[in-house]
Amino acid sequence: MKMMIPIIIFMISCLLFSFSSSQPSMFDFCVADHTLPFGPAGYSCKNPLMVNVNDFSSSGILNAPNTDNIYKAGLSTAFVDAIPGLNGLGISLARVDVQPGGVVPLHTHPDATEVITMLRGNLTVGFISSNNTVYVKSIGTGDVFVIPRGLLHFQVNSGINLSVELSAFSSSNPNTQIVDEALFKSNLATKIITATTFINPIEVLRLKLLFKGSG
């Protein structure tokens, strides 16, 4: 509890102060302190006296991510863990690369809208609404595309060049739920998968092998 003491001292405030005195900027921002508890609204705030400009910055988001995987795709993120100053502000970024023939597989962000800007190359991008309407479009450099929060979506690079997009998310820590990984990389029982997706069990087993799932 010793580390609390500077915070407490810092927090001492007084009812009366003049405009010309200095006041602490308690709630201009809430830089994440990963050593303290976190709650439904995000991480606890770092002592404001310990905050510096680097808490609001990161580098490397435009470095090409590793795409050496089954999807031929990869991402570099600037979420709250990389930039603690994003805590509580409801926004973050990622670069997503897709090699020719690669995909961002069918997935959702359970609590975030995504806005894609194509920086390079071409992609077929689409989302599906809950009444099974497909909104799909081929986009190229300089196009922007919005995927409303929570909906199933995907990207396919059917071109011959690497595609590079910058995605903005309406969450400082957007989770990604990839349908295939949820089903076939987890330990979900084949029997349940077959029952709840109607995919035949042989195909389920093939996909479990591919994604290294168990169950």
Tell me if 42 contacts a second copy by CB under 8 A. Answer: yes
Give the whole-angstrom CA distance, residue 114 versus residue 42.
Answer: 19
Residue type, 35: T
Give the whole-angstrom CA distance, residue 105 versus residue 67.
Answer: 13
Residue carrying structure tokens 């709250």: 80
Q: Which member of 6, 50, 146, 161 binds a second copy (CB under 8 A)?
A: 146
* Residue 34 assigned ligand-binding role: no
In sign, the C-alpha dihedral spanning 67, 68, 73, 75 is negative
Q: Which of residues 47-106 bind a second copy (CB under 8 A)?
A: 52-54, 56-63, 65-71, 73-79, 81-83, 85-93, 103-106
Partners of 155 in the β-ladder: 104, 125
Q: Which member of 100, 162, 205, 207 binds a second copy (CB under 8 A)?
A: 207
Q: Which member of 100, 128, 159, 205 binds a second copy (CB under 8 A)?
A: 128
Give the whole-angstrom CA distance, residue 45 versus residue 7.
Answer: 10
- CB count within 10 Å of CB 81 equals 16
Query: Least CB distance from residue 172 to a second copy, whole Å?
Result: 9
Tell me if 164 contacts a second copy by CB under 8 A. Answer: no
* Residue 109 assigned ligand-binding role: yes
Which positions make up the binding site for Mn(2+)?
Answer: 107, 109, 114, 153
Which positions make up the binding site?
Answer: 107, 109, 114, 153
